[in-house]
Amino acid sequence: MRFYTKNFLFSGFLLFFFLILSFSFSLEFDSVGLSFIINLFFTIFFIALSLQRVINILLFFYIFNLIFMVFVPWIHYSENITIWAKIPFSGDEYFFTNIIIFLINIVVFIVYYFFPSKMKKTTDKYFNWKEPSFFVSLLICILSFFVVLYSLNFNFLRIFFRGLADDDFEYLELNPFFSILSYLSRFLPAFIFLRFIDSKNLIKKIVLFCFVLLCAFPTSIPRFMVAFIYLPIFLAYFKSMKKPIYITCVMLFSLFLVFPFLNQFRYFSTDTQLSFIPDKNFFIQGHFDAYQNFMDVLRFDFVTYGHQLLGVIFFFIPRVFWSNKAVGSGYQLAENNGYFFNNISMPFVAEGFVNFGYLGILFFSIFLGLIMKIIDTLYLTRFEFRDNNYLIYTGTFLCASFFFMFRGDLMSSFSSMLAGVIALYIAGRLR
């Protein structure tokens, strides 16, 4: 891991920016506020260490922590905001959670830093792939579009809008296998399109990109899927954005502007007044509930001794054959505590506690550091930002999907990530 002066200068600017925001938002600077400041400083310090030659998952991990586990929770504490819980959180609970997050960040970095970066590059055979058959690629895209239409009950308006006023349609109740197929149909056209990035035939690329839009129009899919699909395409065309400083700016821009804008299409009508600049209220809504759900897990000592993890590993088993199969940890927490809304998040580190208590937090943190180092070494950090090949697209997809997994919950993020990996493999094997 090399250290670059410009990266630390950028991180200094980042720290200054968030401190200015904290003053402008009139955030608390008591003992709990001081713990947030310490986590803010160290998180940005770890971001500085993660700013290497190209993007990497470690950088995404600390960007997630900066926003979801430090700055926005600081706003919640200062404004005395409770998102789902029926009992407000005390200052001591915030302080204790900040200590745990501080230790998690250190453990993840130490494991990542000391795990060997030299490993067998079994993926070298994927270099310099030729353009696949356009006929086969087009056929797969057409089939994918049909599956998407079926999952939307052949409502063509839902190709472009995620939610419509006075429309109580919900996505079809899918068994695990068809759920994977539905995700595959969203992903495949985009990953096939990436195989044609260097094609000299503009018509082919336009046709395939039309299927990308039809199967996964940005305003018709969840925000995490927008990142899954369009971030690799974006970086394929704007190669310089693979530089860590640039991608950090892109991520912050997306979190503060793009995602709030897309969120307006969850319940869209002709009377909806679109806003391009979010107000402060956006940051005190359920989008940023990960930190408080982590606190709630600690407060109620919500431990299942591996039951939730078994549900993730064997997610493909239908509930008709497994009556007490685990649901998502966020859903289970909401049901246990009688929340009025149950589709809530559960950050990855909290999943560790849900499964094995405090030892689970340690084990999950160690595993996270290991798996991020392996993925970065195989798919990202071995390259230069100018490089453009299918391995980097794979690594970019994993960066986006891990970002979603950091927020959780693990069950939903794992299934969607698996579908994306399968789609990458299918698109990559086309000849």
Q: What is the pLDDT of residues 333-390, one digit of tens each?
A: 999 888 888 888 999 999 999 999 999 999 999 999 999 999 999 998 888 777 778 8
Q: Which amino acid does the sequence have at 180?
A: I
57-64 and 244-253 helices, crossing angle to 10°: 40
Pick from 6, 12, 8, 69: which is nearest to 36 by CA?
Answer: 69
Nearest-angstrom CA–CA distance, 111 and 106: 9
pLDDT greater than 60 at residue 264: no
Q: Is 324 helix (H, G, I), strand (E, B) or coil?
A: coil
What tokens appear for 225 in the block? 């899927």
Q: How many CB atoms lie within 10 A of CB 149?
A: 17
Instruction: Determine the pLDDT at residue 254.
Output: 79
Burial class (CB in 10 A: 0-12, 13-18, 19+), 87: exposed
Q: Are 63 and 247 in contact (CB under 8 A)?
A: no
**Averaged pLDDT score across all residues of the chain:** 85
Instruction: Determine the pLDDT at residue 386.
Output: 75
Higher pLDDT, 363 or 260: 363
Alpha helices (runs of H) in 300-389, residue ranges in sequence order: 307-313, 329-337, 348-379
What tokens appear for 154 in the block? 């052949």
**Mapped to the 3 state alphabet, what secondary structure does 106-119 carry?**
HHHHHHHHHCCCCC
Residue with tokens 């392996």: 374
Q: How far is CA 182 from the centre of its chain?
A: 19
Threshold 0.85, pTM exceeds:
yes
Higher pLDDT, 300 or 385: 300
Instruction: Determine the pLDDT at residue 173.
Output: 44
Alpha helices (runs of H) in 202-304, residue ranges in sequence order: 202-215, 223-237, 244-253, 259-263, 290-299
Residue 164 pairs in a beta bridge with 268
Q: Which of 84-98, 120-134, 359-373 has the lowest mean pLDDT?
A: 120-134
Nearest-angstrom CA–CA distance, 72 and 168: 32
Question: In sequence order, which residues have a C-beta less than 8 Å from that of residue 212 and are 6 or more positions away?
Answer: 189, 190, 193, 229, 233
Confidence class for position 171, pLDDT limits 50, 70, 90: very low
What tokens appear for 206 in the block? 């336009």
The percent of residues in the chain predicted with pLDDT above 70, rounded, is: 87
Whole-number Cα distances in Å, 261 to 191, 257, 426 = 25, 6, 32
Instruction: Determine the pLDDT at residue 177.
Output: 67
Q: Is 136 helix (H, G, I), strand (E, B) or coil?
A: helix
Q: Are 394 and 379 in contact (CB under 8 A)?
A: yes
Instruction: Determine the pLDDT at residue 168.
Output: 45
Q: How many CB atoms lie within 10 A of CB 100?
A: 18
Confidence class for position 144, pLDDT limits 50, 70, 90: very high
